[in-house]
Amino acid sequence: MEIKVPSLLLSIFRMGNFLAHFIHTLSLPIIKLMSTYIKISKSL
């Protein structure tokens, strides 16, 4: 049990790290699209 818990926490941490990176990579183009959309809607 003492060996399994840290490895489980480590794997969760790694998965969280991966997810955060994945979400960050996805959010960049979405933010760019949103800002472009806001600019277009303001100019109309």
The ranges assigned to domains in the chain are 1-44
Q: Which residues of the chain have pLDDT under 50?
A: none
User: What distance lies between CA 37 and its chain's CA centroid?
Assistant: 21
Secondary structure (DSSP) of 9-34:
HHHHHHHHHHHHHHHHHHHHHHHHHH
Dist. CA 19–CA 4, nearest whole Å: 22
pLDDT of res. 7 = 86
pLDDT of res. 3 = 65
Threshold 0.75, pTM exceeds: no
| Cα-Cα-Cα-Cα dihedral sign, residues 26, 32, 36, 42 | positive
pLDDT of res. 11 = 92
pLDDT of res. 26 = 93
